[in-house]
């Protein structure tokens, strides 16, 4: 149980992390961090786990993204073209 989420029941003094005390079902609690200070981060951690590489996007997904971008560019171009034609 992490200290940041640890709660003490004010009725039976049980330490828990749920919204309701598992022993007496009371919802009156106080966080333990009220009395015990918590360091921002642990000073010494084990080796960091390597980040999972992102799966490569499929070629179909890339073509869809490019197609959507192309349609947006064409639509913006037509809108700008018609806006300049109206001024003349």
- 18: Cβ contacts below 8 Å, ≥ 6 apart: 7
Does the predicted TM-score (pTM) go above 0.75? no
Residues of the chain falling short of pLDDT 50: none
* Residues facing 16 on adjacent strands: 7
pLDDT at 69: 93
Task: Give the CA dihedral 25, 29, 31, 35, nearest 10 degrees.
Answer: -130
**Domain layout of the chain by residue ranges:** 1-38, 59-88
pLDDT of residue 78: 92
């Amino acid at each position: 149980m992490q200290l940041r989420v640890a709660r003490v029941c004010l009725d039976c003094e049980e330490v828990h992390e749920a919204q309701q005390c598992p022993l007496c079902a009371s919802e009156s609690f106080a966080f333990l961090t009220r009395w015990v200070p918590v360091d921002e981060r642990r000073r010494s951690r084990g080796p960091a786990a390597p980040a999972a590489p992102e799966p490569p996007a499929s070629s179909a997904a890339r073509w869809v993204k490019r197609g959507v971008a192309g349609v947006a560019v064409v639509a913006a171009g037509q809108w700008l073209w018609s806006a300049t034609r109206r001024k003349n």
